[in-house]
Structure 1
Amino acid sequence: MQTIWAETALLPTGWACGVAVDLDAMGRIQTVAENAPERGMRVPMLLPAPVNVHSHAFQRAMAGLTERRGPDPTDSFWTWRQLMFRFLDRLTPEHIEAITAFVQMEMLEAGYGASVEFHYLHHQPGGAPYDTIAEMSDRVIAASGLSGMGLCLLPVHYQFGGCDQRALTIGQVRFGNGFDQFQVLHAAASTTIDAAAPDAAIGVAPHSLRAVGRDDLKRYAAHFPSGPIHMHLAEQVAEVEEVQQAWGARPVDWALEHMGLDGRWCLIHCTQMTPQETGALARSGAVAGLCPITESSLGDGIFDGVRWLDNGGAIAIGSDSNIRISLSEELRTLDYSQRLRDRTRAALATPEKSTGRRLFDEVLKGGAQASGRQTGRIEAGAWADLLCLDTTSEHLWGRTGDTALDTWIFAGDDRLVTDVWSAGRHMVRDGLHIQRARITADYKRAMDALRDAL
């Protein structure tokens, strides 16, 4: 058993002092006591660690390599996508494992307690399956074993190159599966997950309306009756126009009418919605999986967070392309985008909660829902996904409670995160991952092999 004693901690009931948190051998919180005598490991401020709900781990190796304009003077998401396709054709299973472990290490050091991997790189270059059809999924799972990060794996169904069901391009063929083959792949990955850490889980991800047939999309929840379901939705103007032209409705309207969206679903990005769509999708119970740094990098647009939350919608945060992995910066970028659009301040604050506190509470709750993980709360029975902020730092000196959260998110950075536990695994100590040397060395070897990929 581990015990963490916090001078202050954020509990479901609010801030508390002298909090003793006992963890059992499985990595769950066993007991929580306020005003308790000091015992175990002392930390200044203890928080639940949020889930990173959307990651394409392999794209971390591309970070910084796509900042030159291509031959098209209107360089956009779609030209970036072509560069990504060229890059991924070089990736081996060994590269995927090394890059994923490195990404998960960085996520833990940033304060995330678990990760949802939206995993679509399934097959060999040319599109032929590996001898083990879930080879690449198995490598993601193996990476989480080394990094110690809680994992919800989402094997991605990606079948077509557009709403007209055109064939996949050369850059996409490594993703491709018909529905029957995808079910075989998913079952194989599920078997590996069952043998992994007790907190590891699996869901499913139809990639997008463009990449999966209409009939299959309508039956997804029935074919996969348990676990979270994630899908990209309404990310780009061109995507909205394609769906509307081919299927006679905008993406959000079509999904709401035909896919039975509810609390099992997490829709990623949702940056191209009308006010009416925003309200309707928020009221469906689905989580909006937001990736503000990537959405900024790719020029996706601005999610209407004010209207979404006003309609009772749930949000969660992810790092998507992993161009930069920073929990505090994702939250800050989300709120700043609202301020820039509306020319206001503290856009997501309420009379009861500061901006940082509201954002943090929302992503804790939404991340738990979107991952199907018992997390986001320091209470008995939850996974011990926890982070410690260093309130002895000059950057947080004299700050307590919500003010400390606001200062971390808006005036600090992830260097203020000193310790992180994922399902009780104490993987970050004094700001650094305990396997940093090994994971970084493996990542550097992979990068050397990929040096000329772009």
Structure 2
Amino acid sequence: MKALFARHALLPEGWRRDVLLQWDDRGNLTAVQPNAVAASGISSVQYVMPGMINLHSHSFQRALGGLTEVAGDSKDSFWTWRDLMYRFARNITPEQMEAIAAQLFSECLRHGYTSVCEFHYVQRAPDGSMYPQASETAQKVIAAARHTGIGITMLPVLYSYSGFGEQPLKPEQARFRTDARDILKIIGELEPLRDAQIEVGVAPHSLRAASVAQIREVLDHLPKARPVHVHIAEQQGEVQQSLDFSGRRPVQYLYDQLPVDQRWCLVHATHLTGDEITSIARSCAVAGLCPTTEANLGDGIFPLEPFLAQGGRFGIGSDSHISQSAIEELRWLEYGQRLAQQRRNIAVSEQQRHVGDFLWQSALQGGAQACGRPVGALAPGKRADLIVLDDDHPNLDGLHDSELLGSLVFCGNDNLVRDVMVGGQWVVRGQKHVAQPAITARFKKTLAELRELRS
């Protein structure tokens, strides 16, 4: 029997005791039974939770982490960081992308992410030409996901312009260039790879990098249930550029032009008016929040409380990967709100007053919606994606179930994720990825190669 017995398991309705989890050969949960009796021959653990979904990733940026924390001659911002990132992306090869992605995904798994949405925009060769297979680099990132075991939603990025009004791309953006035809070709090449672990959607980079007409063309040819992700309203500079071009702020412009619904994920959406908050909440789109990256880049703070008051949905992502911890994203999300409002315990609802529980369960639901895969819950029909907590750690000793997630999210910096299963397969045991030595060796070799190019 493919089964696991949990003394405490986080189910959609909350923590339950003595839960028997069973799954089939395809990695799908077939039964989740509370108040069960532990049978002989079945492994037993203390604390089991659904794995988190990382809904926004640029995997190649993992190799850039920590290298941009030096002040320039002028005031640094998102825009100066972006120029550094462009230079870093200039010469990276598909094989190096795969090595970096594998290292990143193994780290994400060790910290509790079991799925990732890859917002993938380095499509072309360094000279700007398309690879013989248009999906070459996307396939390398998918190969890294397969190797590490993480579930992936691949989102090829539509990226045609450098600014609103169809401004031509800059030379340093040549590797990102795609039009609607390119993106549909890439999606077509990736279709045979789709399975229980892999989904394929699309990501118009932003309203400044893709025209409304292009987005409509792609959506007309994309299967209706596929995820659609877009960067939006991340920076005040972007908001002003949108106003100058259209007379409307980015979110207002998007909703005036396109039918945004539950398959959309609006990444960042940092700078919103009250009406824009209402539009997102009513459309049932997911706000894709990446608090560590948004803090690192000086983006601003998402208006979480009024968004939640209108039933808004959110998930979390690690974006530029200065952190690979789901816990850190959720902690930053709450602490940003506390600092902005000088209050405590903000991310709650009338039904759930425990902040850690509200954050984890809400991010699971929003992340599952954004990735378009049956994940995010320990329930029959969902993927057998779960994490086992380290019950020997003193932070979890003697806690009531209602205190577990509060301690997990808000106490200490140790990684309390001990084991991780994805699709019914153990990929992390004793806090170590099962293929970590080979993955890390290849990553170190890639870093050495990239450093030689910088010197």
- Bin of the TM-score, shorter chain as denominator length: over 0.9
Q: Distance in 2 between matches of 1:349 and 1:422?
A: 29
Selected match of 2:212 from 208, 211, 214: 214
Deviation at residue 126 of structure 1 after TM alignment: 2.2
Identify if the C-alpha distance between structure 1 residues 301 and 453 changes in structure 2 by more than 3 Å, giving closer, same or farther. farther
Residues 265 and 286 of structure 2 are in contact (CA less than 8 Å); yes or no, is this contact kept in structure 1?
Answer: yes
Corresponding residue of 2:135: 134
Q: Distance in 2 between matches of 1:350 and 1:41?
A: 36
For 1:413-428, what aligned pairs fall within 5 Å after superposition? 413=413, 415-428=415-428
Q: Give the RMSD, CA atoms, in angstroms.
A: 1.3
Bigger shift: 12-21 or 44-53?
A: 12-21
Deviation at residue 240 of structure 1 after TM alignment: 0.8
Matched, 1:369 2:369: yes
Deviation at residue 393 of structure 1 after TM alignment: 1.1
Q: Distance in 2 between matches of 1:2 and 1:327?
A: 27
Q: Once the two structures are superposed, what CA deviation does each residue of 1:103-153 show, in whole Å capped at 9, x if it has no partner?
A: 110110010111110000001012101111111011011111110111110
Bigger shift: 30-39 or 1-10?
A: 30-39
Corresponding residue of 1:431: 431
Identity value in percent: 40
Identify if the C-alpha distance between structure 1 residues 37 and 424 changes in structure 2 by more than 3 Å, giving closer, same or farther. same
Corresponding residue of 2:65: 63
Bigger shift: 32-41 or 198-207?
A: 32-41
Q: Distance in 1 between matches of 2:397 and 2:196?
A: 38
Secondary structure, counterpart of 1:347 in structure 2: coil
Residues 330 and 359 of structure 2 are in contact (CA less than 8 Å); yes or no, is this contact kept in structure 1?
Answer: yes
Q: Once the two structures are superposed, what CA deviation does each residue of 1:275-320 show, in whole Å capped at 9, x if it has no partner?
A: 2211221211100000000000000000011111111011011000
Residues 184 and 218 of structure 2 are in contact (CA less than 8 Å); yes or no, is this contact kept in structure 1?
Answer: no
Corresponding residue of 1:308: 307
For 1:70-89, what aligned pairs fall within 5 Å after superposition? 70-72=72-74, 74-89=75-90
Q: Structure 2-normalised TM-score?
A: 0.96
Residues 261 and 285 of structure 2 are in contact (CA less than 8 Å); yes or no, is this contact kept in structure 1?
Answer: yes
Corresponding residue of 1:31: 31
For 1:283-322, what aligned pairs fall within 5 Å after superposition? 283-322=282-321
Matched, 1:164 2:169: no
Bigger shift: 16-25 or 385-394?
A: 385-394
Q: Distance in 1 between matches of 2:2 and 2:103?
A: 26
Deviation at residue 172 of structure 1 after TM alignment: 0.8
Q: Distance in 2 between matches of 1:84 and 1:131?
A: 25
Deviation at residue 37 of structure 1 after TM alignment: 2.0
Residues 110 and 327 of structure 1 are in contact (CA less than 8 Å); yes or no, is this contact kept in structure 2?
Answer: yes
Q: Distance in 2 between matches of 1:28 and 1:369?
A: 17
Q: Distance in 2 between matches of 1:452 and 1:164?
A: 38
Q: Structure 1-normalised TM-score?
A: 0.97
Q: Distance in 2 between matches of 1:363 and 1:450?
A: 35
Q: Distance in 2 between matches of 1:26 and 1:400?
A: 34
Residues 328 and 413 of structure 1 are in contact (CA less than 8 Å); yes or no, is this contact kept in structure 2?
Answer: no
5+ residue gaps, structure 1? none
Q: Once the two structures are superposed, what CA deviation does each residue of 1:203-236 show, in whole Å capped at 9, x if it has no partner?
A: 1001000001121234443231331000001001
Q: Distance in 1 between matches of 2:322 and 2:172?
A: 20
Deviation at residue 237 of structure 1 after TM alignment: 0.8
Residues 218 and 258 of structure 1 are in contact (CA less than 8 Å); yes or no, is this contact kept in structure 2?
Answer: no
Corresponding residue of 1:345: 344
Residues 118 and 153 of structure 2 are in contact (CA less than 8 Å); yes or no, is this contact kept in structure 1?
Answer: yes
Residues 110 and 414 of structure 1 are in contact (CA less than 8 Å); yes or no, is this contact kept in structure 2?
Answer: no
5+ residue gaps, structure 2? none
Q: Distance in 1 between matches of 2:285 and 2:184?
A: 24
For 1:345, the aligned partner's letter is R
Deviation at residue 342 of structure 1 after TM alignment: 0.6
Secondary structure, counterpart of 1:45 in structure 2: strand
Deviation at residue 22 of structure 1 after TM alignment: 0.8
Q: Distance in 2 between matches of 1:23 and 1:169?
A: 50
Residues 180 and 215 of structure 2 are in contact (CA less than 8 Å); yes or no, is this contact kept in structure 1?
Answer: no
Residues 164 and 245 of structure 2 are in contact (CA less than 8 Å); yes or no, is this contact kept in structure 1?
Answer: yes
Q: Distance in 1 between matches of 2:400 and 2:25?
A: 31
Q: Distance in 1 between matches of 2:182 and 2:357?
A: 44
Q: Distance in 1 between matches of 2:123 and 2:165?
A: 23
Q: Distance in 1 between matches of 2:211 and 2:414?
A: 41
Residues 234 and 251 of structure 1 are in contact (CA less than 8 Å); yes or no, is this contact kept in structure 2?
Answer: yes
Q: Distance in 2 between matches of 1:302 and 1:148?
A: 33
Residues 219 and 259 of structure 1 are in contact (CA less than 8 Å); yes or no, is this contact kept in structure 2?
Answer: no
Q: Once the two structures are superposed, what CA deviation does each residue of 1:253-289 show, in whole Å capped at 9, x if it has no partner?
A: 0111111110010000011111221122121110000
Corresponding residue of 2:197: 199
